[in-house]
């Protein structure tokens, strides 16, 4: 089936200029590929559906979201501002079917369509950066023009990975007219934020903008504060009508006192026989915790080491040359460079012992990362015709080199210094890591280097058939090489390996009525068993995991243009995942497992009356393992039929807004995330939670004064779980109030 679909995709793309019967359309009206959609009524309010937007995260054909056989959300800056979303994570998790949380100290994680973590690719301006550490640090939403969210596989556009979806953070571009924005905000837990930006035309054909933001907070958990600073600049030069040159540069720095999670308190371990023993939670097959819970006394306690930290500096520069030598041809060249330096000293494991009533810390480490990504993407898009049928085609070349160094703590730091003491359940003081020496330690010496080089060619085509029917196909050929060098002797032998996946997609879109699109699509993806930078000599021979998705859906605008809606059903299967098994008494790993999911997603944006807007979305997901066995050090345990961790079956969002022209407005938001399992054994359940946000504002000319309440009911909830042999939960923020002043010109 996969081969047949790839061949069909290739057949669609065969309609390149070399084989078309007409070099160009006869007139401008025929050159318009997308059907004209006429709606009436005034569109006010905010929406994340963006049916008439061009989302390059889903396609490089330059067509509207409603014309794509895929599920896409476009969250623009106006929507982010109106909802009071502070970070990119806040904005994305309001999107249909997306949930998430900040884990591993400072890195956001997403879940969607039955998958989590590296199955969802995070990008900057459409450029994939290989590891979540490079691209997924917490970002101030003020610095972004928009966020595009694609649900479903995206390998045909972005290479290996992205089996469940992609999130694209899009930088601000210079405005055509002079514009300025200022945001000042203060909230509970010592939070302060400021954002300032603007720009416009400097001369004929030359435009620029600059933005800056700074945020700090003490955090609601002890010693969980952060400080983030971001700077950005953009320049666009258009010397001729057919030529545009732009440059974007971004720099961010953050320092985080890491809060990894709160340890679960429990009464003992129940054995398969029903007997209960009081011991540490190294769960074997059939065992489960007795009465696991978060002790209310620990809600604001940080069990991490007292002098732990996570610091990161990130830079991003991207150029774009756009040339239109003819009315039906566009050529783009995008060189880019990204760097990230990250250091952290933390304990990342916290185990409650019911025998002693103490919390034991483990997984201490002093880690350093130094990544440099350079590359260029070149593509050409042209409108031609296949016989008399309009045809739009994109062909492109991606070249990237990702040089990544990993370091560990210096050997001068003795084993005694990193052995954590057991802590009382409610400690009076949290011991430091190595208070006498930590501040004078040098950066961790690199122990390994991973060099990943990618060469890829891709193509997309859209063929418009009679009866408002479009066939859209894409195909990508990747050549990926990995060379890992062991700098320190104890980190394994050096090795080199490579992958050459072929991925594709094929879809059909039919518009039976103006403003209504029905679609069906097949998409294909490939992903390594771990992030390429983490691949070792023992796992280098594993092949890529394959993923495929079937999706059908509908998008439509109705009620005289006052309502947009989308509906999608999908079926995803990811094969060749690593699973442990025992062969002749020897425990080995094999690529014989699978993870599957099916689901339904629906979204609605409606303007029921003057000044009113209502947006709602709902997602149902059925995810499970097949032929999957897990090794946690206590034996090989079957997970067949179990639900992967941190994946809710139900999630939904509702935002209702009432605006009074020239006066102000009020807003109510409700977000629900259903029960999730904290472990693949499905023996520990995270309770569902519902968060209620409310806001009211007053307008003074170009200024807006807003009072906002988050988690109004002060619900205690966990937005993410970490459960290996050590169960602990990342608790979400309690109730907080914020006052902000926004001014724009």
Virtual torsion, Cα 7, 12, 18, 23, nearest 10 deg: 180
Kindly state the average pLDDT of the residues 592-613: 92
pLDDT tier for residue 617 given thresholds of 50, 70 and 90: very high
Answer yes or no: is pLDDT of 218 > 60: yes
- The upper half-sphere exposure of residue 96, i.e. CA atoms within 13 Å in the direction of its Cβ, equals 29
What was the pLDDT predicted at 105? 57
Tell me how far apart the alpha carbons of residues 618 and 388 are, in angstroms, rounded to a whole number: 42
User: Where residue 29 falls among pLDDT bands split at 50, 70, 90?
Assistant: very low
Range of 207's domain? Answer: 2-744
Please answer whether residues 122 and 148 qualify as being in contact, where contact means their C-beta atoms are separated by less than 8 angstroms: no
47 vs 138: CA distance, rounded Å: 23
d(CA 134, CA 130): 7
Q: pLDDT band at residue 588, thresholds of 50, 70 and 90?
A: low
406, 166 contact by CB (below 8 A) = no
Compute the average pLDDT of residues 37-42. 36
The label of the residue with tokens 């990250």 reads 342
If you average pLDDT over residues 555-567, what whole number do you get? Answer: 93
Buried b (16+ CB within 10 A) or exposed e, 186-206: ebbeebebebbbbbeeeeeee
389 or 726, greater pLDDT: 389
Q: What is the pLDDT of residue 662?
A: 80
Residue pointed to by tokens 């057919």: 242
By CB neighbour count within 10 A (0-12 exposed, 13-18 middle, 19+ buried), where does 680 fall? Answer: middle
> Would you state the structure tokens that stand for residue 152, as one six-digit string?
């479903």
pLDDT of residue 589: 66
Between 58 and 282, residue with greater pLDDT: 58
Q: What is the DSSP string of 480-530?
A: EEEEEEESSGGG---EEEEE--EEEEEEEEEEEETTEEEEEEEEEEEE-SS
Tell me how far apart the alpha carbons of residues 483 and 535 are, in angstroms, rounded to a whole number: 10
Structure tokens at 609: 């009356």
| CA-closest candidate to residue 84, choices 744, 745, 737, 660 | 737
Residue 14 has pLDDT above 70, yes or no: no
Q: Are 483 and 451 in contact (CB under 8 A)?
A: yes
Tokens of 314: 């990130």
Q: Is 314 exposed, middle or buried (0-12, 13-18, 19+ CB in 10 A)?
A: buried
Whether the CB-CB separation of 156 and 717 falls below 8 Å is answered with: no
How far is it, in rounded angstroms, from Cα 408 to Cα 411? 9
Q: What is the pLDDT of residues 118-164, one digit of tens each?
A: 788 888 898 887 565 556 678 899 999 999 999 998 878 888 777 88
| Tens of pLDDT, residues 229-280 | 999 999 999 999 999 999 999 999 999 888 888 888 888 888 988 899 998 7
DSSP secondary structure string, 217-283? Answer: E--SSTT--EEEEEEEEEEEEEEETTEEEEEEEEEEEEEE-----EEPB-SEEE-TTS-EE-S----
> Among 214-218, 264-268, 456-460, 687-691, which stretch is predicted with the lowest mean pLDDT?
264-268
* Cα 719 from Cα 706, distance rounded (Å): 27
Between the two ends of the chain, the Cα-to-Cα distance in Å is: 55
- Residues 475 and 457 sit within 8 Å (Cβ to Cβ): no
How many C-beta neighbours within 10 Å does residue 211 have?
A: 23
Reported as a pLDDT band with limits 50, 70 and 90, residue 377 is: very high
* More confident site: 410 or 228: 228
Q: Strand, coil or helix: what is 370?
A: strand
Q: List Cβ neighbours of 233 (8 Å cut-off, separation of 6 or more).
A: 208, 209, 210, 211, 248, 249
Q: What is the pLDDT of residue 135?
A: 60
CB-based contacts of 43: which residues, under 8 Å, 6+ apart? 561, 562, 607
Higher pLDDT, 387 or 492: 387
Does position 383 have pLDDT exceeding 60, yes or no?
yes
**492 pLDDT above the threshold of 80:** no
How, if at all, do strands 243-256 and 309-326 pair?
antiparallel
Q: Say whether pLDDT at 728 is over 70.
A: yes
What is the C-alpha to C-alpha distance for residues 48 and 274, in angstroms, rounded to an integer?
50
Reported confidence tier of residue 356, pLDDT bands at 50, 70, 90: confident
Q: Mean pLDDT over all residues of the chain? A: 83
CB atoms within 10 A of CB 472: 26
The CATH number assigned to the domain holding 371 equals: 2.40.170.20
pTM (2 decimals)?
0.89
Phi–psi pair at 81, nearest 5 degrees: -65, -45
Residue 28's φ and ψ, nearest 5 degrees, are -65, -30
Residue 264: the pLDDT is 85
Regarding predicted confidence, which is higher, 442 or 525? 525
Contact 126, 57 (CB under 8 A): yes
Q: What's the domain count of the chain?
A: 1
Residue 282 is predicted with a pLDDT of 74
- What ranges in 119-162 are assigned the alpha helix state H? 132-135, 155-158
pLDDT: which is higher, 30 or 428: 428
136 touches 123 (CB < 8 A): no
- pLDDT at position 416 is 43
């Amino acid at each position: 089936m996969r081969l047949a679909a790839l061949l069909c995709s290739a057949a669609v793309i065969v309609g390149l200029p070399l084989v078309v019967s007409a070099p160009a359309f006869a007139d401008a009206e025929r050159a318009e590929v997308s059907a004209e959609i006429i709606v009436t009524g005034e569109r006010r309010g905010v929406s994340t559906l963006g049916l008439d937007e061009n989302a390059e995260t889903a396609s490089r054909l330059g067509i509207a979201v409603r014309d794509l056989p895929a599920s896409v959300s476009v969250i623009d800056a106006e929507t982010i501002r109106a909802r009071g979303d502070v970070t990119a994570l806040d904005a994305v998790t309001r999107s249909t079917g997306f949930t998430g949380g900040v884990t591993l100290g400072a890195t956001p994680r997403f879940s969607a369509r039955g998958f989590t973590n590296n199955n969802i690719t995070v990008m900057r301006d459409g450029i994939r950066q290989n590891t979540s550490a490079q691209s997924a640090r917490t970002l101030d939403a003020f610095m972004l023009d928009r966020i595009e969210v694609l649900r479903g596989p995206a390998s045909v556009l972005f290479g290996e990975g992205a089996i469940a979806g992609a999130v694209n953070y899009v930088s601000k571009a210079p405005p055509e007219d002079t514009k300025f924005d200022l945001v000042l905000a203060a909230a509970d837990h010592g939070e302060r934020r400021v954002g300032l930006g603007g720009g416009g035309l400097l001369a004929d054909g030359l435009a620029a903008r600059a933005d800056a933001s700074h945020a700090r907070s003490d955090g609601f958990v002890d010693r969980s504060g952060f400080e983030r600073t971001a700077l950005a600049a953009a320049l666009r030069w258009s010397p001729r009508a057919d030529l545009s040159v732009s440059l974007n540069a971004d720099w961010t720095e953050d320092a985080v006192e890491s809060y990894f999670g709160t340890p679960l308190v429990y009464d003992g371990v129940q054995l398969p026989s029903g007997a209960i023993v009081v011991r540490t939670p190294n769960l074997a097959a059939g065992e489960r915790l007795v009465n696991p819970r978060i002790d209310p006394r620990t809600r604001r306690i940080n069990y991490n080491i007292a002098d732990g930290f996570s610091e990161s500096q990130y830079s991003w520069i991207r150029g774009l040359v756009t040339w239109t030598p003819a009315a039906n041809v566009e050529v783009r060249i995008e060189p880019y460079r990204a760097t990230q330096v990250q250091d952290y000293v933390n304990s990342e494991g916290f185990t409650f012992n019911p025998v002693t009533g103490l919390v034991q810390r483990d997984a201490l480490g002093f880690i350093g990362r130094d990544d440099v990504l350079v590359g260029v993407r070149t593509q050409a898009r042209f409108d031609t015709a296949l016989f008399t049928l309009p045809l739009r085609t994109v062909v492109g070349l991606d070249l990237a080199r990702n040089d990544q160094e990993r370091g560990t703590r210096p050997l001068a730091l003795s084993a005694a210094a990193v052995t954590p003491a057991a802590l009382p359940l409610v400690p009076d003081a949290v011991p430091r890591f190595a208070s006498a020496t930590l501040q004078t330690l040098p950066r961790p010496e690199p122990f390994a280097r991973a060099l990943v080089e990618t060469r890829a060619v891709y193509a997309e085509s859209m063929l418009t058939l009679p009866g408002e029917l479009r066939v859209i196909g894409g195909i990508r050929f990747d050549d990926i090489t990995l060379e890992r060098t062991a700098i320190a002797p104890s980190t394994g032998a050096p090795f080199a390996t490579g992958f050459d996946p072929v991925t594709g997609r094929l879809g059909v879109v039919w518009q039976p009525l103006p403003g209504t699109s029905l679609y069906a699509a097949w998409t294909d993806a490939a992903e390594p068993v771990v992030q390429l930078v983490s691949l070792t000599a023992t796992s280098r021979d594993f092949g890529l995991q394959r993923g495929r998705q079937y999706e059908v859906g509908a998008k439509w605008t109705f009620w005289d243009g006052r309502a947009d809606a989308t509906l999608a059903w999908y079926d995803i299967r990811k094969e060749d995942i690593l699973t442990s098994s025992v062969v002749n008494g020897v425990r080995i790993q094999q690529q014989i497992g699978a993870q599957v999911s099916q689901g339904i997603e629906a979204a609605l944006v409606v303007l029921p009356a003057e000044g009113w807007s209502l947006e709602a979305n709902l997602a149902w997901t059925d995810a499970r393992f097949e032929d999957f066995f897990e090794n946690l050090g206590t034996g090989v345990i079957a997970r067949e039929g179990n639900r992967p961790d941190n994946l809710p079956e139900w999630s939904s969002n509702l935002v209702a807004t009432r605006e009074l022209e020239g006066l102000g407005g009020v807003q109510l938001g409700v977000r629900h995330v259903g029960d999730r399992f904290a472990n693949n054994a499905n023996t520990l359940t995270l309770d569902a939670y519902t968060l209620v946000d409310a806001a009211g504002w007053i307008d003074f000319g170009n200024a807006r004064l807003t009072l906002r309440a988050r988690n109004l009911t002060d619900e205690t909830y966990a937005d993410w779980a970490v459960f290996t042999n050590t169960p602990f939960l990342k608790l979400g923020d309690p109730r907080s109030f914020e006052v902000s002043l926004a001014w724009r010109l």
